[in-house]
Amino acid sequence: MSGNAVEFVDVSKSYTSTSIQKNFDLAIPGGKIITIIGPSGCGKTTLLKMINRLIEPDSGKVLIEGKDISGLDPVQLRRNIGYVIQQIGLFPHMTIEQNISIVPRLKGEKKQHLIDRATELLKLIGLEPSRFLGRYPHELSGGH
Ligand SMILES: Nc1ncnc2c1ncn2[C@@H]1O[C@H](COP(=O)(O)OP(=O)(O)O)[C@@H](O)[C@H]1O
Ligand SMILES: [Mg+2]
């Protein structure tokens, strides 16, 4: 067990003849926050999409908690990765609570657990649950 949350090992990826990542190595330790910065088109999105297998590397490996993700079921893999979704990624007809709870609901979590978790996450980012859980995405500022 490497102790790394995510690790890229010798990853290469090309689209047609253009090489996007070449022998890329990066180890992200558990519990750390990292930011990927680079000019438009440098390969940031490609890199992130390789973590949940929306894009497969041509060669090399991506590990999550020491496990090669090429051997995991992609649906299970994606349901165990948290995402911060905004704007077009939100369902406009669902409340904030329902939007937050989509994946845990798909995983069959109990109703009370869904409410508790949505409440906990709103508190974490400084939004008062009693005010925001029942609102719809268009009733938030949207960060503009
Ligand atoms: N499906 C694709 N087919 C061909 N080229 C692509 C595809 N996806 C992205 N690219 C190209 O690969 C490069 C990296 O894209 P991307 O990872 O989206 O960069 P970033 O997120 O850093 O802006 C860009 O030049 C982009 O045009
Ligand atoms: Mg991008």
pLDDT digits (tens, 9 = 90+) for 12-63: 999 998 999 999 999 999 999 999 999 999 999 999 999 999 999 999 999 9
Residue whose Cα lies nearest atom 13 of ligand 1: it is: 41
Mean pLDDT in residue range 77-105: 91
- Our CA dihedral for 95, 98, 100, 106, rounded to 10 degrees, sits at -160
Predicted pLDDT of residue 50: 97
pLDDT at 122: 95
Residue indicated by tokens 């709103």: 122
Q: What is the pTM of this model?
A: 0.83
Enter the tokens of residue 40. Answer: 């438009």
Q: Ligand 2 centre from 48 Cα, in Å?
A: 9
Q: Which atom of ligand 1 is nearest to the CA of 49?
A: 17
CA 99 to centroid of ligand 1, rounded, Å: 28
Confidence at 143, pLDDT banded by 50, 70, 90: low
Instruction: Say if residue 136's pLDDT is above 80.
Output: yes
The pLDDT value given to residue 82 = 87
Q: Is 44's C-beta closer than 6 angstroms to any atom of ligand 1? A: yes
67, β-bridge pairs: 64
Report d(CA 70, CA 25) in Å as an integer: 17
Output the CA torsion sign for 132, 89, 61, 8: negative
**93/84: higher pLDDT:** 93
Residue 144 has pLDDT above 90, yes or no: no
Instruction: Give me the residues near ligand 2 (ion), CB cutoff below 5 Å.
Output: 44-45
Atom 2 of ligand 1 has which residue's CA nearest to it? 15
The pLDDT value recorded for residue 85 is 80
Distance, CA of 16 to CA of 34 (rounded, Å): 29
For 104-127, the pLDDT digits (tens) are 999 999 999 999 999 999 999 999
Ligand 1 pocket member 15 (CB < 6 A): yes
C-alpha 46 to ligand 2 mean position (Å): 7
Go through the domains of the chain in sequence order and give each one's CATH number: 4-79 (3.40.50.300), 88-139 (no CATH)
Q: Which element (helix H / strand E) includes 113?
A: helix 111-124
Which of helix, strand or coil describes residue 8? Answer: strand
| pLDDT value of residue 142 | 62
Q: Ligand nearest 44 Cα, by number?
A: 1
70-88 pLDDT, tens digit each:
999 999 999 999 888 877 8
- State the Cα–Cα distance between residues 57 and 6, nearest whole angstrom: 15
